[in-house]
Chains A and B, each alone.
Chain A
Amino acid sequence: MAEARMPQKSLPKVNKVDERFWQAAANEKFLLQKCRSCGKLQFFPRVACVECFGELDWIESKGTGKIHSFTLVRVPRNPAFKDEVPIYYINVILDEGVIIESKLVGDSKETVRTGDRVKAVFQPTHDPAVKLPCFELA
């Protein structure tokens, strides 16, 4: 019974707005939204274009970009993540020109500097249906 009360690592509460994103992530693709009217690219998944309120399509990102900023998390909000500290929490600027919040993984992450090139990788979670888009130094 004690185990049932242990905190679990946070997973997305997938909804109708972002389910396409998470389905694609499970197949190791990173989707962005593109406005049908003005062509603007945006992230996170929304119901309307943030520029012109147009309707949205999904496009696949190349999953490449650079580190915009980073922090080493010593105290995660959800204590279930404690086994991963320090967590390299990052903002990435995708080559498509959109800022993404994510996590840096991989052996060389300790060397990270702003401006470093990165590429998307998809990490399994404790839910077999959910893969988490993360980044590695390229």
Chain B
Amino acid sequence: MKRRKVCFVGYGSTEYSRKSEASALSYYAEAIRDALRQTGLHKKDIRGFSITTQASPDYSPHVAEQLGLEVDWVLNGDYGGAGGVMSVRRAADAIECGHLDVAVLVGGNSFDKSVPTQRQLEYQRGNFVDVYGYGGPNSLMALIQRLHMENYGTTLEQIGKIAIAQRENALNNPQALFREPMTMQDYLSSRMISDPIRLFDCVMPCSGAECIVLASEEKAKRITDKLVYLVTDAEISHYQVANMLPDKTTFGQKVVGERIFSEVKHSDIDLVEIYDDYPIAVMIQIEDLGFCRKGEGGKFVDAHDLTYKGDFPVNTGGGELSVGQAGLAGGYLHIVEALRQLRGEADGHQVKKAERALVTGIGWLNYGRNLGTTAALVMERRK
């Protein structure tokens, strides 16, 4: 989908905490306040509101009421880790249609004990997966990683290089929970969780929230001179669902990538923010999006410097693997980091040439296949 007149005009973030039991609502509010400060917008300017969270029963109208928002458009951006990108797409649709000119999109979770922070497992997961004592997403991604390693000869060192590069990116990111260097030996010797998935393949759950402000081009020009345009975006849910012998090592990002790269060229992308619930998921998406051929992700990683200083910058703030995963804020973190980069605000981890960024989201490991939701967008800084 080609976009012409939708802009990102700002963002807001909270600190991430491994302990805080502050209410999820207060995290959303803090992220929104941060974004209002940055954009100079007032609460009454917010005409569209979306929330992405696992905290039930906080559906979007309830949260809007709590935050005192009278809005023309409200969305429960409930698409797992693709919630950020997919909410941006829906807000962009509404802005292009003229329903609103400013949308505030929030993702967040906390260890708030007053609300259930995890949904009940869906029927197919509950009745046909959990009954075997599986280890959550770690086990389902482990099945995929084993296949990638066996089918394509991908090594642990190649997968680990992604985690290590992201850690280097996190060293100067004050939001990151993990700011000590990681060596290959650290990665390889980290505790086995659901083999071949190790501890350092996994994200750290934490409390936190992220906020994105989207506006029409006309409104955007009155808000900021750092204009970042949404260029193109695509999504697919339940790729291969009718295939009872699916290729588990190919995600819906294959289709998403074909759509995205019919509008822009790979060589135009300066940095990529790839949803990183696991390093292997980053590698598979690099393949699916066409930066290299299927199965050659390991070689690709070997051949490139993935840090913010490198020739193929990936997850330049450390990604979820090093910053932490504040529940469904995970799908927003990547968009916010891309905005920091394109606005030249990534102090200490700024990519030198940052004009165009690709951001992805993936959500829900499903029965027998891989991802439920897959989405991506490209944004561009224009002077």
| Interface SS of B by simple majority | mixed
Cα A136 to Cα B369 in complex, Å, equals 22
Chain B interface (Cβ within 8 Å of chain A)?
123-124, 126-136, 138-139, 142-144, 146-147, 150, 191-197, 241-242, 244-246, 248, 367-369
Q: Are B133's CB and A89's CB within 8 A?
A: yes
Q: Is A71 an interface residue (CB 8 A)?
A: yes
Cα A14 to Cα B197 in complex, Å, equals 31
Q: Is A42 an interface residue (CB 8 A)?
A: yes
Q: Which residues does chain A contribute within 8 Å of B150, judged by CB atoms?
A: 114
Cα A41 to Cα B133 in complex, Å, equals 26
Q: Are B135's CB and A99's CB within 8 A?
A: no
Interface size on A, residues (CB 8 A): 44
Q: Which residues does chain B contribute within 8 Å of A18, judged by CB atoms?
A: 123, 127
Q: B259 → chain A, closest Cβ, in Å? A: 23
Cα A31 to Cα B202 in complex, Å, equals 35
Q: Are B124's CB and A44's CB within 8 A?
A: yes
> A93-108, CB under 8 A of B: which get 1 and which 0?
1000111111100000
Q: B136 → chain A, closest Cβ, in Å? A: 4
Q: A59 → chain B, closest Cβ, in Å? A: 14
Q: Are B144's CB and A73's CB within 8 A?
A: no
28 contacts between A and B (CB under 8 A): A9-B133, A13-B126, A14-B127, A18-B123, A18-B127, A41-B244, A44-B128, A51-B242, A69-B143, A69-B146, A70-B143, A71-B139, A71-B146, A72-B192, A73-B139, A73-B194, A74-B135, A78-B133, A89-B133, A89-B134, A89-B139, A89-B143, A91-B248, A99-B244, A99-B246, A101-B134, A114-B147, A132-B132
Q: Which residues does chain B contribute within 8 Å of A124, judged by CB atoms?
A: none
In the complex where A89-B194, A97-B245, A101-B368 touch, is A114 in contact with B146 (Cβ < 8 A)?
yes
Q: Are A87's CB and B192's CB within 8 A?
A: no
Q: Which residues does chain A contribute within 8 Å of B192, judged by CB atoms?
A: 72, 74
Q: Is A10 an interface residue (CB 8 A)?
A: yes
Q: A136 → chain B, closest Cβ, in Å? A: 14
Q: Are A91's CB and B132's CB within 8 A?
A: no
Q: Are A69's CB and B244's CB within 8 A?
A: no
Cα A11 to Cα B133 in complex, Å, equals 10
Q: Which residues does chain B contribute within 8 Å of A44, judged by CB atoms?
A: 124, 127-128, 367
Q: Which residues does chain A contribute within 8 Å of B146, judged by CB atoms?
A: 69-71, 114
Q: Are A75's CB and B194's CB within 8 A?
A: yes
In the complex where A41-B244, A42-B244, A69-B146 touch, is A91 in contact with B368 (Cβ < 8 A)?
yes
Cα A97 to Cα B246 in complex, Å, equals 11
Cα A73 to Cα B129 in complex, Å, equals 13
Q: Are A76's CB and B368's CB within 8 A?
A: no
Q: A34 → chain B, closest Cβ, in Å? A: 12
Q: Are A50's CB and B368's CB within 8 A?
A: no
Cα A70 to Cα B142 in complex, Å, equals 8
